[in-house]
Every structure is written in structure tokens, then in C-alpha cells.
Chain A
Amino acid sequence: MKININKKEKYFIFILLLPWLLNLIVFWVYPLLYSIVLSFSDYSTLTNEIKFTGFKNYIKIFSDKAFYNSMINTLIFVVGTVPLTTAISMLLAVLLNSKSVKFKEFYKAAYFIPSVTSMVVVSILFSNLYSQAGYLNKICQMLSIPFPAKGFLQEPSTALFSIMAMDIWMAVGYYMVIFLAGLQAIPNDLYESAELNGASFFQKLFKITIPLLKNTFIFVIIINTIKSFQVFIEIFIMTKGGPLNSTNSLVYLVFQNAFEKTDMMGYASALGIIVFIIILIFSLVQMKLMKVK
């Protein structure tokens, strides 16, 4: 009797797990293994043949100028957006959390909405704002600030920074909400006793808020770094890596090799794996650095 029940339960558990196991094997494990195999081979789209070539693709990447260019652009993107996004979103959260602010829910919603809007829509919108006859050029003209005449995205020196500014605008609301959740966990009497001792806004910020938000900081920085390393859609929509490859990112380079060039899928797979390893190393180093403190 008991064995029978156990069998029944095992069967039940198996049914419960089946959707995940199928999804895992078909859409994750198999593609991942395929990707690794592909990265060590040359794949011809026409004949559908895979030829094993060892480390050739990997060696080629490290002598490819396009790789270093995309690497530098991506690093500029990460180093430029992550600290700014983190700082702005933290400050917004602190401001919104103070008792004196009215219409809190409204501000929260207003800051948050860009982060739930489709990246494609936001990219199209900003392409227009940044364009030759766009809103931004017109404002610069009115205030007589120098501006790129062809538009912000057509000038190699401004294109990447323009996309970074858009990304910061889009992301701060999301991280702000995460910081707000973290702030709610800080007991209020800490601030009250600090106020009794005459602490200023900045003293409270640096002595109480920031140290107590450590875990939130770690989470926000790591998640944002991982996301920023994968910057792709905005580049695909806004610049296609141009002008003069000044906005070409690592993931965009993977995409170009895989889908815009012929017979480069093996190379693209190797590149994809290298990008993944770079992201992993960055995240691990960040975790180490922040845990040591």
C-alpha cells in the first residue's frame, strides 16, 4: 500500500517538473551545447555543413580590430552609465522617501514609467529627439549652445554618449524603486536620534543611509553592469553601430557577425562565449570587491 502511494507521488512530481525539464533541455541546454560546438567550427549556411576548426575562431577574435573597438565602446558604456544611474536613482529614492515630499505616488510613477516602456519605442523616440531637426538641436539653438549640426547620433563624438544618456533616463526609475524598497527597511529611530544630535542631510546620507543600503547597492550595481554589457536593441534601432563604428557594442558585433555576414556564425558564437565570460568575470570581481568591504 505504502509503495503504491510513493509511486503515485513520484509520478505526480514528475508531471509537475516536466514543463521545466523539457524547456531546459530543448531551449537552453541544447542551444548552449550547440553554441559551444559552433564556436570551435566553421559553419556554412549554404551547405549546412559544420567543419571543426579548433581554436581558430577564438584566436581570430583577439586579432580583430572590430572586437577591441566594440570592447572599448561597451566599457565606456558600462563605466559611464552604471555609476551615474546608481547615484541618481539612489538620490531620487532618498528624496522621495523624505516626509516633506507631496504627491509621492505620482513622482514614483512618473520616474518609473520609462523603464516599463518598450526599448524599441524609446529608441525610436530618442532618435527623433536627437535628429538633425530634432527637439534637442532646437533647444541648443535657442540657448545658443554648440550642437552637432547633423544631429547627435550622426556625430561619432556624441553618438555613444547620447545613447548612454537615454539609457540612464530610462533606467533610473527602476533602480529608484529598488532603493526605495531598501530604504523602507531602515528603522526610522536611527534618523530621529541623528536629528536630535544635529546631523545634517549629508551626514545622515553618508553615515546612515548609504552604509545601511549596502546590499541594495551590490544588487543594483551587479544587475545594471550585467544588463549594460548586453546593450543591443538601442544600438540596433538608433545607429546600427555607426557612425564610423563609434557605437558598435559587443553584443551588436555578435549580431552583425551572426546575421548580417555570411558564414560567420561560428565566429559569432565564439564571440558570444567570450562576451559571456567577460560579464561573468566582471560580476565575480564586483562581488568580491564589495563583499570584502
Chain B
Amino acid sequence: MMAPLAWMIVLSLKENPESFKNFFSLIFSEFTLSNYISAFDSNNFLIFFWNSLFVALVVTIGNILLCFLVGYALARKEFFAKKAVFFSIIGVMIIPQHLIMIPLYRLIVNLGWMNSYLSLIIPWLITPFGIFLVKQFIESIPEEIEKAAKIDGAGYWKVLFKIIFPLSKPILTVLAIYTFLNTWNSFLFPFLFSNEEGIRTLPVHLAFFIGKQSIDLGNLMAGSSISALPILIIFIFFQKNIIKGLTAGALKE
């Protein structure tokens, strides 16, 4: 199962891997970090890496905060058209990306957000799946805790951030990792919204890189490995949380 990914790493550690006649001479040839060094030596690659990291971090922070607010309201408060709001969240979850691809592209052009971090961040700061996740979790927190705090005279915001927020930490961790993974790997919209090099994220850069006439295979695999690496590291540390997040929808069914 891991063979293809291992192969990618092997190729990334060889100089001119395409020049080898067969598989064994390739495997037993010298390993080198030159592809990684040359990747990081080119200024642009650092920019793509930074773009990916910056966008993923901001989107993750946004989701933690905003999904928390909305999820809390849906779990605890009664308000006008609550059912409609909940329905809108479920509805948006089933809308495929390709359906809003064209109008969203037009919108970003009209807003003047092309080639800007704004287009990579603002539309994704809150996600229906995140709201749903938080709502389900907060509903399982006993309401008595909040009531006791209110009797003690705590205001709405104090209850929200001093009591509920810390209690929601497990689900917010899941949400954070899930959002980071998705944003880091996101391709279609970052691709559509950037036609200048400086704003590209790693996946977008890789897609342009393979479009070039002659490709340095070792370089390409080094770039691919670097863009897969943060995910592997996160996965090793947060395996349980990731699996929990990805199966949360399934378990609630």
C-alpha cells in the first residue's frame, strides 16, 4: 500500500532519476538531498510553501472561531427560522464544488480578489461541516454547567468563551486538523483564483510545474514530497483525531 509513496521519496532522493536503465541500478545508486536543496534554493518555492502554510493556518483559525459561534447558537439557542438555518447548512454540504465554480470565479474577478490572499481565505473561513461537528458536540455538554455560571452572573460572552470553549476543545482539535488538511491539499479554487506565480500554493505550483516542457523528475518528486510531508507529520501525531473527524459524519448517521 505504501509502495507508491515510498517510490516518490526514493525518486526525490536521486539525481536525474530518469537516466537510470533499470529499477535496481536506480535503487542502489547514491542517495542525495540535492533535489531538496535546489527546491529550497529557488526563492519561489519558499513563497509557495509560505502561501500554503499561511492560507491553511488562517483558514483553520477562522474555522475554529466561526464554526464555534454558529455551532453554539444552533445547539443552545432558540431563534427565528432556526430550522431554515440548519437546513441551509445541510443543503450547502451537498452542493458539489463544480456547481459554484463558474459564478464564484466571476464573483472573485468582480471583487478584484484575483491573485490575492482574500480569495484563498475569505470564502473558506467557515464551513458547514465544521458547524455541524461543533453543534453535535455542544449538544452533548450538560446544560447545567452553563446555567450555574449564569446564576453566578456571568454574561453571554463570558459563558461562551470561559466555559463552553474550553469544554469543546476535543472537537475543535478535530476540526482544526481536518480544516488544515483540507486547505493544505485544496487545489481547484486556489488554481482558478491565481494566475500570477507569487500567489500560488504548493499544489497549484506542482500542477503548473508538470505543464512545463521538460520536467526534472527528481525536482518534481522532491516538490511533491515536501507538499505531502506536513500531512504525514500531522498524521503521525494526530492519527486518532483525524480518523475521528473523518468518520464523525458516518457515526452520526
Q: Which of B102, B131, B217, B243 contacts A128 (CB 8 A)?
A: B217
**Which residues between 1 and 58 of chain A lie within 8 Å of chain B, taking CB atoms?**
8-10, 12-13, 15-17, 19-21, 23-24, 26-28, 30-32, 34-35, 38
Q: Taking the nearest CB of chain A, how far is it from the CB of B53, in angstroms?
A: 14
Cβ A121 vs Cβ B103 within 8 A: no
A169 interfacial by beta-carbon distance below 8 Å: yes
A144 interfacial by beta-carbon distance below 8 Å: no
Chain B residue with Cβ nearest A29: B88
A215-B247 Cα distance, complex, nearest whole Å? 13
Cβ B184 vs Cβ A275 within 8 A: no
**Which residues between 193 and 223 of chain A lie within 8 Å of chain B, taking CB atoms?**
215-216, 218-220
> What residues of A have a CB within 8 angstroms of the CB of B4 in the complex?
114, 122, 125-126, 129, 169
> What residues of A have a CB within 8 angstroms of the CB of B207 in the complex?
120, 236-237
B31 interfacial by beta-carbon distance below 8 Å: no
Are A113 and B250 CB-contacts (below 8 A) given A28-B95, A31-B100? no
A109-B181 Cα distance, complex, nearest whole Å? 16
Cβ A276 vs Cβ B99 within 8 A: yes
**CB-CB contacts of B187-224 with A at 8 A, as 1s and 0s?**
11000100000000011001100100000010011001
**CB-CB contacts of B39-81 with A at 8 A, as 1s and 0s?**
0000000000000000000000000001001101100010100
Q: Which of A28, A110, A276 contacts B96 (CB 8 A)?
A: A276
Cβ A17 vs Cβ B98 within 8 A: no
A133-B16 Cα distance, complex, nearest whole Å? 13
Chain B residue with Cβ nearest A269: B102
B29 interfacial by beta-carbon distance below 8 Å: no
A153 interfacial by beta-carbon distance below 8 Å: no
Cβ B103 vs Cβ A31 within 8 A: yes
A265-B224 Cα distance, complex, nearest whole Å? 33
A27-B249 Cα distance, complex, nearest whole Å? 23
A12-B97 Cα distance, complex, nearest whole Å? 32
Cβ A34 vs Cβ B106 within 8 A: yes
Cβ B1 vs Cβ A110 within 8 A: yes
A119-B123 Cα distance, complex, nearest whole Å? 21
Q: Which of B72, B98, B157 contacts A230 (CB 8 A)?
A: B98
A251 interfacial by beta-carbon distance below 8 Å: yes
Chain B residue with Cβ nearest A230: B96
B141 interfacial by beta-carbon distance below 8 Å: no
Chain A residue with Cβ nearest B191: A236
A273 interfacial by beta-carbon distance below 8 Å: yes
Chain A residue with Cβ nearest B7: A135
Q: Which of A34, A178, A275 contacts B103 (CB 8 A)?
A: A34
Cβ B18 vs Cβ A133 within 8 A: yes
Cβ B126 vs Cβ A177 within 8 A: no
> What residues of B have a CB within 8 angstroms of the CB of A138 in the complex?
22-23
Interface size class of B (residues with CB under 8 A): 35 or more
> What residues of B have a CB within 8 angstroms of the CB of A71 in the complex?
none
Which of B1, B88, B227, B239 counts the most A-chain CB atoms under 10 A from its CB? B1
Cβ B2 vs Cβ A16 within 8 A: no
Cβ A120 vs Cβ B250 within 8 A: no
Q: Taking the nearest CB of chain A, how far is it from the CB of B248, in angstroms?
A: 10
**Which residues between 215 and 240 of chain B lie within 8 Å of chain A, taking CB atoms?**
217, 220-221, 224, 227-228, 231-232, 235-236, 239
Chain A residue with Cβ nearest B78: A13
Contacting chain B: which of A79-87, A155-163, A254-262? A254-262
Cβ A28 vs Cβ B73 within 8 A: no
A181-B247 Cα distance, complex, nearest whole Å? 8
B253 interfacial by beta-carbon distance below 8 Å: yes
25 pairs from A and B in contact (CB 8 Å cutoff)? A16-B70, A17-B73, A17-B79, A19-B70, A20-B88, A30-B103, A34-B103, A35-B99, A38-B102, A112-B243, A117-B231, A119-B187, A121-B203, A121-B224, A125-B4, A125-B5, A128-B221, A133-B18, A178-B247, A178-B250, A219-B249, A233-B188, A237-B210, A254-B98, A275-B99
Other contacts beyond A12-B157, A27-B100, A118-B187: 13, CB < 8 A: A9-B77, A17-B70, A20-B70, A23-B123, A34-B103, A118-B184, A118-B228, A181-B247, A216-B250, A220-B250, A233-B187, A236-B207, A254-B101
Q: Which residues of A contact B (CB under 8 A)?
A: 8-10, 12-13, 15-17, 19-21, 23-24, 26-28, 30-32, 34-35, 38, 105, 108-114, 116-122, 124-129, 133, 135, 138, 169, 173-174, 177-178, 181-182, 215-216, 218-220, 226, 229-230, 232-233, 236-237, 251, 254-255, 258-259, 265, 268-269, 272-273, 275-276, 279
